[in-house]
Amino acid sequence: MNHKKFVLLVDDEAILLLSVQRELMLKLGSEITCLTSLRAEDGLKKIDELAEREENLSLVISDWLMPGMNGDVFLREVRKRYPKVRLVLLSGHVDDEQVTSISHDIDLFAFLKKPCRRNEIYDTVKQAIEQT
C-alpha cells in the first residue's frame, strides 16, 4: 500500500483538469498523486481501482454539470461507496439552495464556485489532505 494521498479531479473541461492537476502536482507533488477524469463514470472506476489496491483516496473534486452523470449524482455515489472520502463540488451552474441540499445530504467538504481562483482549489486540497 502506498502512503501517498490521492486526489481525483472530475470535470469535462480538459484544459481545467490539466491546469489544476499541474498546479497541484507542482505545489503538493510530494504529498499527493493527482488523478483526473473527464467523465463521472470513469471517475468511479478509478476510485474503485484505488480501493482495490488499498490506496488512500483523500479527496474527490467534481464539477456539477457534465455529460452523462452529473456531479451531484456522482458525489452521492462516491459517498455511498466510500464514506470517509472528502468531497468538493465545483460549479458555476448551481444555486445556493442546491448546494445547501447536497451539502446536507452528503456532507460536502467544500463548494467552490466557478470561475474560482487557483489558490482556492489549492487551499481546499491542502486543508483536506491535512485532515486525512
Look at residue 129 and tell me if it is in a domain. Answer: no
Q: Which amino acid is at 95?
A: D
Look at residue 125 and tell me if it is in a domain. Answer: no
* Domains in the chain, number: 1
Contact 131, 86 (CB under 8 A): yes
Name beta bridge partners: 6.
33, 57
Look at residue 53 and tell me if it is in a domain. Answer: yes
The domain that holds 25 is classified in CATH as 3.40.50.2300
pLDDT tens digits, 67-123: 999 999 999 999 999 999 999 999 887 777 888 888 888 999 999 998 888 789 999
Look at residue 82 and tell me if it is in a domain. Answer: yes
The beta-carbon contacts of 16-24 under 8 Å, at least 24 apart in sequence, are 19/118, 20/118, 20/121, 23/118, 23/121, 23/122, 24/121, 24/122, 24/125
Look at residue 108 and tell me if it is in a domain. Answer: yes
What pTM was estimated for this model as a whole? 0.93
pLDDT tens digits, 21-67: 999 999 998 889 999 999 999 999 999 999 999 999 999 999 999 99
